[in-house]
Amino acid sequence: MVALPRSQPSPDLTITSLGPCRIESPMSPLLDARGTSEHYVDEHDRVLLDDTLAGISSRGVPPSELPGMEPCGPRRKIFFDPAKTRAAIVTCGGLCPGLNDVIAGLVRTLTYHYRVRRVIGIRNGYQGFVAGYGHDVVELTPESVRDIATDGGTVLGTSRGPQDPDEIVDCLERLHVNVLFVVGGDGSMRGAMQIAETVAQRGLFIAVVGVPKTIDNDIPYIDQSFGFQTAFSHASDAIRAAQVEAKSTANGIGLVKLMGRHSGFIASYAALARSGADVVLIPEVPFALEGEGGLLAHLRRRVTERGHAVVVAAEGAGQELLASSEGHDASGNTRLQDIGPYLRRRIGDHFADAGIETSIRYIDPSYAIRSVPANPYDSVYCVRLSQAAVHAAMSGRTQMVVGRYRRRFVHVPMAAAVSRRNQVDPHGDLWLAVLESTGQPVRFV
């Protein structure tokens, strides 16, 4: 007899609702256009968390109790009366390709499909809610957002750092806002949770819905964050440039530092997109510099054999080699030491000690990548995320984010979305693909 795996604890994927939906949706004619329910979402259905027999078996529960996520999509009945609804949009944290696409998608869906009469934008992140900063609000219409997706950044501006949730809710009340869309990372979503909790404590009916943003692709329960494909595409161009520079000089070395504080997805995907990388360093896999099994000796051998080498390092890689940082940035993240200049110096010293003349070309394209417009794939993804966010908010969902999981758009509780970081599995197929592509050893020890 084969023993089944032990049962696993199931995450709480319950979505909070403001109340029953009793209002006929303006989208009902579209849902019933063909006399069928093909565009209608079965609210009682779920997108299963597990997609393997082993994973399902390990839960040890009947099919009806398997953990799953609520599907995104329009409902025939909604919670808010569109004629009496006011929506607000705020963008927070660092820049990421696709922010303007999300803003434009939210405005169009609210206006065209739900006929919401007023949509406003909050300037400069959560600061825009606080009177002391003096930021105004901006009226958003389909006409005003028509061309913003062609530009990078966010037309609303952004800021980092928390603000008093009571002051934010005071502002929402003054503005008569019923629906708040927060576009930001994990720190922004934690702030959104505090806003939603304050709303609930006051007995108000304000939906708080997030469109999660992280260029590092480290949000759990989501296949991929918006802007990620654009980011690693441009990052691969930096690898190409480093390879060209390295090949054009005797014993040349190209060193590229990419985004990825805690997760090495951009470095991994960019290196796979450009096969010129000889080494990829990510936060999830510690490495040693010294010794015959270390990184420096491996680079020396590569340069000796091929005449050049290219190293790709995520910004959070190798922190164990550096003096520990103190303090946090405005978003609450631990400050990292800069691995790029450190590697440049150590590589240069190693080759000099070995009597090998080399030329190191160091490239850090981070801010150039963050500020570019989204590519077509990410633009489409942003539009679909924004549509899903509006459908969720109008149906009274709150304290949740939208994302795609198993190729289906789903609702994820904010608490689950910030519960941990999505990281590259050192034993998974993505990292194996990187090792195959670069030819580097499994570990530098």
Instruction: Give the sheet arrangement for strand 118-122, strand by strand.
Output: 137-140, 118-122, 86-91, 179-184, 207-212, 400-405, 408-413
Residue 250: burial class (beta carbons within 10 Å; 0-12, 13-18, 19+): exposed
What are the φ and ψ backbone dihedral angles of 414, each rounded to 5 degrees? -55, -40
Is-catalytic flag, 216?
yes
How crowded is residue 173: how many other Cβ atoms within 10 Å of its Cβ? 13
The two beta strands, 207-212 and 16-17, are unpaired
Rounded Cα distance, 419 and 9, in Å:
14
Nearest-10 Cα torsion for 66, 224, 381, 368: 160
What are the structure tokens assigned to 6, written together?
Answer: 């032990």
DSSP character for 217? -
Tokens found for residue 150: 């062609």
- What whole-number distance in Å separates Cα of residue 361 and Cα of residue 381? 35
Q: Which residues contact 197 (CB under 8 A, 6 or more apart)?
A: 165, 399
Contact 366, 95 (CB under 8 A): no
Spot the catalytic one: 216, 218, 278, 378.
216
End-to-end CA distance of the chain: 42
Distance from C-alpha of 49 to C-alpha of 65, rounded to nearest angstrom: 11
Active-site amino acid positions: 216
